């Protein structure tokens, strides 16, 4: 099992340079977009801060793209729920 963390640096909403850890990436069959779910490993109100964005897997567009539609958010949330369900089955 590969335990190497995937870390990247990006500006937050205030323009400050921050370090983020990739939780996972996936391609949605429904939206035909690639998504990355990531964290700054900071707890807020007892919960881990988790963010999501879409990205260009070819690397031509270097920045993360915002999630633009409710359909995209639903796709990401469904994927997260599926992963959580798989994780609960392993316990």
Domain boundaries, the chain: 7-90
Q: How far apart are CA 74 and CA 5, in angstroms?
A: 26
Contacts of residue 73, defined as CB under 8 A and 6 or more positions apart, other chains included, come to 67
**pLDDT confidence of 4, banded at 50, 70, 90?**
confident
9: left (phi over 0), alpha (psi -120 to 50) or beta: beta
What CA–CA distance (Å, rounded) separates 88 from 91?
5
Which among 83, 81, 63, 79 is positioned nearest to 30, based on CA atoms? 79
Q: How does the average pLDDT of the chain come out, rounded? A: 88
Q: What is the mean pLDDT of residues 1-24?
A: 85
* Average pLDDT estimate for 42-54: 93
**Percentage of residues in the chain having pLDDT higher than 90:** 64
Residue 25 has pLDDT above 50, yes or no: yes
Share of the chain above pLDDT 70, in %: 91
Cα 35 from Cα 77, distance rounded (Å): 12
């Amino acid at each position: 099992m590969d335990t190497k963390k995937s870390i990247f640096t990006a500006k937050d909403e205030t323009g400050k340079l921050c370090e983020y850890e990739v939780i996972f990436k996936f391609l949605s069959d429904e939206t035909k977009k690639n998504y990355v779910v990531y964290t700054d490993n900071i707890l807020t109100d007892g919960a881990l801060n988790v963010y999501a964005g879409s990205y260009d897997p070819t690397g031509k567009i270097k920045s993360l793209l915002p999630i633009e539609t409710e359909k995209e958010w639903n796709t990401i949330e469904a994927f997260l729920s599926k992963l959580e369900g798989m994780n609960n089955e392993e316990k």
